[in-house]
Structure 1
């Protein structure tokens, strides 16, 4: 009974199983067209081929062929994506965003074959940031004469995903205020402030290219170096130039030049001027256009001439009297050779000096002083007469011997010059807080005539006394080897001797007068008694009168 039941079920199953004619096992399929996103992983399902035959029982054989077959693999009737580790599915790397293949179905028994077409469209993902085109972010040279609003550069960037881009300037960058972009999608960078080569020779422009309509808003950055070229917008200026800031503009104030010439003396070389030789340069340092010099005013009938190329001022004949002509004030112009309307002027003061007949000199070639050890940072060096040590040179070219143009300084040959300094008036100062008792220093002081250049020197010996030592007063250093007691004794003896000498002189004068009166009376009596001796007595009388007059 059981066997009968099994036979009936088998007949039913046989009756339900589809029966295919020869060659029908590969039919039932169709062409496949699907979409898949780029960057899909390996093994991603693409499609299933709905053919009649069974690949598991080896009734049919399915095979992939075609130009992009390496991107697919068959697993039974299922087609999957074939991705290698070093070959992701990147839409941007494909020539076209499609993959093509043929699915060949072969009937194993009849060897009949049917081909189905497979077309896979690779969909784009936003997986790329914009990239600036190299030629649009190259270093740029811009003249400082470029007007505001001029287009300096047109930025261009590319997005492999084809996204729309906008361009922006990084406002936090140092030189952002010089540029602007009016229309973000255009990429045109315009100048927003005037450039100045003399102030800033190089600018750094930092820009962004950003995706416009994407969720990610990927962006990229570029830095463009802009070199400012010098334009002819500056006038010449005399050196050294003193710059002043006026409303964010640097203004050059020309120096006033000063020089000296001596009365009745003709120089055969260019005048020596201060703060330096007469020199002007083009304010446009990048151009350095040559300048020409000329004297506009102040010249005494052509007494001075200026070299129009070098600016050297020469004297053609001397000045006869510095009293009548104590100074010349010259107005000198420097103008560009290629454009005389671009010029500048300055003043040259030439003072006439009296002839320098005498060199300055110190009264002594050596001087001495002392200073007490003390905590003060600066203290005067004083003499042994307890007066400030004054180092003053005498110049006989001046009535009172005082030349106000003499300056004083310490030579580098002096030892420990870092501890002493001399004022322009000749006072010697010491760093008392850095000196120690019983030290001795030898300093070389130089006095220099700033007009003639004559120099005179003096050696100064400085002794440091202990703070507890009494300050010497009115005693020279040579006499300080005697004690106070000895000096007092010698002084007392000298006073007594002087008194005795004065008393003796007074007695001598008194006795002389008495003897003279007695002698004169006797001679008068003799004259009256003896006229023969009158002439001789008269002569003696005259002589005595002269002696008496002298004694009186």
Structure 2
């Protein structure tokens, strides 16, 4: 209560009788300290910038800046460093449990942990003595040690969650400042650790006798380097150090693109050393580029596929791009490449050789004529390497549909004609749930033939069952057809046949052999003289009776009967 300033108090006591002092007494009061004040850090959050190249075992933050203050006498403070950022405790630690100085334990890595956060905790331990605690043996009457702190962390706060708690907590934030520790790295590279990256070497091929107009295409990628210290990220400057004695190549200082200044007359292998230098010239790296020059006369381009499939809507305007049948939202891409000289891929041109309805625009297929029919067209695409003169061909199958291209559909093939140029047959095409004019016409023909068959069958049945009732009405025209036939029942010969019979006196309806096809109905008529002759072949009496019964007044045919040369069913 009196604090550390007044730990001993003196009181003067006098005993007085009247005006006479009988006795005097001095009283000395010793003020004993108790742990009634918590420790206090001089900050809540402390941010410290630490250079990445700080040496190991260096004290990053001194003890004087981190220690807490306690107003109680003889208190011992114990500190704990707790990591908030995972893995941070492997880089920093406290010098001691009672000394909160922060030191570096291993090299920093900006690329790994650019920021680290810790919680710094402090607790109070009161010295133990038999006077303060009769249970404490005399040998423990000493200031708090690590063992005391572990057994009884707080003498005046027996439980950690007691209120008030004589503990305190502060936050440390360490910001790693990048340092120039790493040279430039040519990509792609494989990291061996945070400081060394095994960088790439580059390979390329060029044809002899040709100067390539574009930058060389290299494997595994273009020449490209980055500053190994990503936090600094210095600009990289490229240059050729060795291997370009003939002056064949030149490298762009900013992009690293390698181009040719002239052609190589004969096969040769170039080993070029490329330097990547930081803009501040503090660090640099070197890599090797191998360029092989050899004869390309036998190098031919190649198409990845032998058949490409595309689709385009009926009635599309000229110059419409043909879409990919597998991915209707994407244009069809027909392309080839030179496996030996990838640099020459940009020199490959394309054209359609046998179909004037379509044309090439780069790697895209466009319509070159109005598309007025549902069909499937085939076009041959030729790829030519303008440098080596090598060629390759492939085939494009283009479906012309009635609606916007879809990924699914049905195809019906028929020989519908030919294109204007190559006289190739086209194939009619109908989308799902839609029918073309040809389909409807074929369906109508089949239905018509079936209807005609049904009518003829009905007439046949009527003729077989009611022929005797119609003889009186049939006239002479019916007699030959109803003449005796050993094959038919009751001597009646059917008028239905699949054979044409040219003999006179016979009337028949003839059908083609394929009933499912379009019906070919032929009615064979005979002149009146033939009919009469045929009638004479039957019974004269029967024929006369029939003629008399059928004759009208005057012996002629009935008024409503057809003429002599008429045929009816």
Q: Structure 1 length normalisation: TM-score?
A: 0.43
**Bigger Rg, which one:** 1
Q: Structure 2 length normalisation: TM-score?
A: 0.42
